[in-house]
Amino acid sequence: MLYNVLRSPMSFFERTPSGNLVNRFAKEMDTIDSVIPSIIKMFMGSMFNVLGSCAVILIATPLVAIIIPPLGLLYFFVQRFYVASSRQLKRLESVSRSPVYTHFNETLLGTSVIRAFGEQQRFIRESDNRVDHNQKAYFPSIVANRWLAVRLEFVGNCIVTFAALFAVMARDSLSPGIMGLSISYALQVTTSLNWLVRMSSEVETNIVAVERVKEYGDTEKEAEWSLEHSTLPAGWPTNGHIEIRNFGLRYREDLELAIRDILVTIEGGEKVGIVGRTGAGKSSLTLGLFRIIEAAQGDIRIDGVNISELGLHELRSRITIIPQDPVLFSGSLRMNLDPFDGYTDEEVWRALELAHLKNFVSGLPDKLNHECSEGGENLSLGQRQLVCLARALLRKTKILVLDEATAAVDLETDNLIQSTIRTQFEDCTVLTIAHRLNTIMDYTRVLVLDKGQMAEFDSPSNLIAKKGIFYKMAKDSGLV
């Protein structure tokens, strides 16, 4: 299930609350691993107890054979009636448990904001409401259990009554010892029958967990991670030539195209800025380049190779991105910079120096072994961004994508990052999604997107001369 979930496309995580994932991996897996095996064991024990007891009673008082079929039929109908409702209640309880996890997770992530606005009580109330909603499904299942117990006790008492009655009727032909044995087993069979019905019901009820886990085992998958017979050259891409031909993509099947009919050719080593208003499709284009979202129309070719025919790992490992939201994992700083131990310490320190982080890391007590907390919370946002830059400098691929990478840093640091990118990625193709237009004014060309389509594509000076969308944006920024 973990493998399948990790191989799911990003759209799956966008529409699936984190509580659902926690619930399946925690509670449902615990049910499958711990609860169901013990229930099956008790079910088998109860079944053999019941069969053994019935055999002794039938041998001792054969007349009981008359009432066992109708009572067995009554048992069956009571159990069927109970299971139908109990299974649905269990399903409701499982579904209503996920929002409790989701809310708790969200509360933990936003603790500082909740405290800053003094909203603790509102979040506590919301948590209580979700727990209450979960209990609304849990409580009826307990009530249904009691309902079943009353009926099972009644049928069990009927068996004891008839066994005693038939023993009295046949008192002349039976020895007192056999009669006592028959009645004592009839008393025992009540408990065993109760357990048999309850355990068979519990198996059916808890099997919902298997159903829910299997549902995540059959989720939609991304394309193949790596192809067996790859014909890709070892150093691909060698030039960084990108050809985008009538490219378009949509976030979900039922939605409109987010970008459409993009037709662009970028030469190797060019520095291209991508600009546009919010929602113009700038980030969507990079998602298409990394195949995080598959193309709905057209294709992208890098050095003549159609990226849709590659394994995802082959593609993504050969393009570097510095994202808008810097991502760090729990672990050492060195692990975050070089997760696969592919570089020497000297190369790591060189990357840190170029990313203007060498002085900061040198001043840490553990230096490269400095422990980063979850999400890099013990580093400032700017430092996290510089760590991502150092990571990109280490990999040094032919294509670099900057997704508003300097939006979280001040202008001085922004200038330092831009100068590093200009010098260190001089022979690389650089695609920059920019909010600050001053960072791309010296780029080779600028691609202007508007409402998901290509509006303009030329050098910054030519675009300003044309006095189109880019000119207006530059004027608003105070650059012209």
| Average pLDDT rounded to a whole number, residues 55-65 | 81
| Average pLDDT rounded to a whole number, residues 286-302 | 88
How confident is the model at residue 338, as a pLDDT? 86
- pTM beyond 0.75: the answer is no
Q: Which CATH architecture has domain 2-217?
A: Up-down Bundle (1.20)
Burial 83-119 (b: 16+ CB within 10 A, else e): beebbebbbbbbebbbbbbbbbebeeeeeeebeeeee
Give the highest mean pLDDT range of 130-139, 177-186, 320-329, 434-443: 130-139
Q: How confident is the model at residue 39 (pLDDT cuts 50, 70, 90)?
A: very high
pLDDT in tens, 233-247: 777 888 888 898 888
Task: Output the six-digit token pair for 252.
Answer: 């979900």
Q: Which CATH architecture has domain 242-476?
A: 3-Layer(aba) Sandwich (3.40)
Mean pLDDT over each residue of the chain, to the nearest integer? 85
- Where in the chain are all domains bearing CATH 3.40.50.300? 242-476
Task: Output the six-digit token pair for 43.
Answer: 């079910």
Helix boundaries (H) for 218-320: 282-289, 312-316
- What DSSP assignment string belongs to 347-385? HHHHHHHHTT-HHHHHTSTTGGGPEE-GGGTTS-HHHHH
Cα–Cα distance measured from residue 222 to residue 295, given in angstroms and rounded to the nearest whole number: 13
| Average pLDDT rounded to a whole number, residues 204-226 | 83
CA 314 to chain CA mean position, Å: 23
CA 60 to chain CA mean position, Å: 61
Dihedral sign, Cα of residue 177, residue 179, residue 183, residue 186:
positive
pLDDT in tens, 238-293: 888 889 888 888 888 878 888 888 888 988 888 899 988 888 888 888 888 888 88
Q: How confident is the model at residue 185 (pLDDT cuts 50, 70, 90)?
A: confident
Cα–Cα distance measured from residue 361 to residue 345, given in angstroms and rounded to the nearest whole number: 13
Q: In degrees to the nearest 10, what's the CA dihedral of 21, 403, 234, 303?
A: 120
As a whole-number percent, the residues of the chain with pLDDT over 90 amount to 9
Q: Is 332 in contact with 370 (CB distance < 8 Å)? A: yes
Helix boundaries (H) for 61-119: 68-109, 111-116
* Secondary element (H or E) of residue 269: none
pLDDT of 360 above 90: no
How confident is the model at residue 133, as a pLDDT? 93
Contacts 24+ apart (CB under 8 A), 19-25: 19/97, 19/98, 19/99, 19/100, 19/101, 19/102, 19/103, 19/104, 19/105, 20/98, 20/101, 20/102, 22/98, 22/101, 22/102, 22/105, 23/94, 23/97, 23/98, 23/101, 24/212, 24/213, 24/216, 25/1
Residue 228, judged by CB atoms within 10 A of its CB (0-12, 13-18, 19+), counts as: exposed
pLDDT in tens, 405-436: 666 677 777 777 778 888 888 888 888 888 77
How confident is the model at residue 406, as a pLDDT? 67
Please report the beta strands in 211-282, taking only residues with DSSP state E, as ranges in sequence order. 242-249, 259-266, 271-275
Higher pLDDT, 87 or 25: 25
DSSP assignment letter at 111: H
As a whole-number percent, the residues of the chain with pLDDT over 70 amount to 99
Q: Which amino acid belongs to residue 435?
A: H
Q: Is 458 in contact with 289 (CB distance < 8 Å)? A: no
| Average pLDDT rounded to a whole number, residues 228-234 | 73
* Coarse DSSP helix, strand, coil percentages of the chain, rounded to the nearest 5 percent: 60, 10, 30
Q: Is 372 in contact with 330 (CB distance < 8 Å)? A: yes
Nearest residue to 318 via CA among 397, 372, 221: 397
Cα→Cα distances 51→39, 55, 79, 193, Å: 18, 6, 18, 10
pLDDT of 377 above 90: no
| Average pLDDT rounded to a whole number, residues 361-371 | 86
What are the residues facing 454 on neighbouring strands? 449
State residue 17 phi and psi, 5-degree precision: -65, 150
How confident is the model at residue 121, as a pLDDT? 94
- 140: Cβ–Cβ under 8 A, 6 or more apart, which residues? 89
Nearest residue to 461 via CA among 438, 476, 441, 479: 441
Q: Is 261 in contact with 432 (CB distance < 8 Å)? A: no
Helix boundaries (H) for 170-246: 176-217
DSSP assignment letter at 25: I
Look at 218-232, 296-310, 435-449 and tell me which has the smallest mean pLDDT. Answer: 218-232
- 279: Cβ–Cβ under 8 A, 6 or more apart, which residues? none
How confident is the model at residue 354, as a pLDDT? 86
- Where in the chain are all domains bearing CATH 1.20.1560.10? 2-217
Q: Is 434 in contact with 275 (CB distance < 8 Å)? A: yes
How confident is the model at residue 125, as a pLDDT? 95
Q: How confident is the model at residue 117 (pLDDT cuts 50, 70, 90)?
A: very high
For residue 14, the number of C-alpha atoms closer than 13 Å in the C-beta half-sphere is 7
pLDDT in tens, 165-174: 887 887 777 7
Q: How confident is the model at residue 344 (pLDDT cuts 50, 70, 90)?
A: confident
Q: Is 203 in contact with 40 (CB distance < 8 Å)? A: yes
User: What length does the chain have?
Assistant: 480
Helix boundaries (H) for 220-372: 282-289, 312-316, 333-337, 345-354, 358-362
Cα–Cα distance measured from residue 352 to residue 389, given in angstroms and rounded to the nearest whole number: 9
| Average pLDDT rounded to a whole number, residues 192-220 | 83
| Average pLDDT rounded to a whole number, residues 34-45 | 92
How confident is the model at residue 152, as a pLDDT? 82
Higher pLDDT, 120 or 423: 120
| Average pLDDT rounded to a whole number, residues 77-81 | 83
Q: How confident is the model at residue 85 (pLDDT cuts 50, 70, 90)?
A: confident
pLDDT of 116 above 90: yes
